[in-house]
Amino acid sequence: MDTRPDGSGDESTPDAPEPTDTTETSESPEAPETAEAAGSGDRYVPYLPPRQPETTPAPQPRRQRGWWIAIGALVVALAVFVLWPLLNSAQNGPSGETFEPGPTVSRNAEPGLDGIVAREVPPAQIVPGDCLTDFESVGEPSTVVECNRDHEAQLIGRKLWPTGRAFPEDMQAAAERFCATIELDSAPNAQVIVEISHPTQGTWDEGDRRVDCLAVAHDGTLNASLVAEPVLEDWTDHVDG
């Protein structure tokens, strides 16, 4: 018989026991870490590889001052090598000739078909009237040829100053005046310029007393003598009164 108040007639069943909490009360070892990571508010830091040691740039090599010193010494040596002949030339005279007589060059009294009288004749041994080929300058040796052969220069005059006289202060002007007095024949095949060689203080002290006047063809060649009679003034033994 249904004894429930609602009269449903169903048998009443006892209330089922409430389920017990089966959750373990003991926390696992990982629980604190998980809880701390989830609820502590700390940021999650991803894994990074270890920092590599910083590399400092290799020091730049210091500028080698020794190289600059060596280069400077080389430049000075080259300058001396180049300038010394010029300075020496200025000291010895316009021609660059040092007063050294040297051995006597033999002359051919009867030149052959080539007309060569003597080769490699130094300036001090060239005599007035000589016609010259292989001519480079008034201070260099030349080849003496017969004047009816092609040539480039001729010694047209010479003055020898007194040996006992002091060096004239106006030597250059005196040499130019002497050479200007020499008259030249015409040269139809060349433009002729007179070049002058005279002593300097340095060569005068060594005994040089020679002034030479050379007619040089700067355009074309010569094939005859330019003077009827070459000029020679020899004052070597003159004594000033």
Q: What pLDDT is stored for residue 101 in this prediction?
A: 58
Q: What pLDDT is stored for residue 1 in this prediction?
A: 43
Q: What pLDDT is stored for residue 234 in this prediction?
A: 96
What's the token pair of residue 66? 């020794």
Q: What pLDDT is stored for residue 49 in this prediction?
A: 52
Q: Which helix (H) or strand (E) holds 39?
A: helix 31-39
Q: Which helix (H) or strand (E) holds 145?
A: strand 142-145
Q: What angle do CA 140, 145, 148 make, to 5 degrees?
A: 135
Q: What pLDDT is stored for residue 231 in this prediction?
A: 96
Token pair 């300075």: residue: 87
- Residue pair 155/129 in contact by the 8 Å Cβ criterion: yes
Q: What pLDDT is stored for residue 189 in this prediction?
A: 87
In whole angstroms, what is the distance from residue 102 CA to residue 140 CA?
Answer: 13
Token pair 């920092």: residue: 51
Q: Is the pTM of this model over 0.85?
A: no
Phi, psi of 90 (to 5 degrees): -65, -35
Q: What pLDDT is stored for residue 147 in this prediction?
A: 96
Q: What pLDDT is stored for residue 74 in this prediction?
A: 72
Token pair 């050294």: residue: 100
Spans in the chain with pLDDT lower than 50: 1-17, 19-43, 47-48, 51, 84-98
Residue-range domain boundaries for the chain:
116-234
In whole angstroms, what is the distance from residue 22 CA to residue 29 CA?
Answer: 19
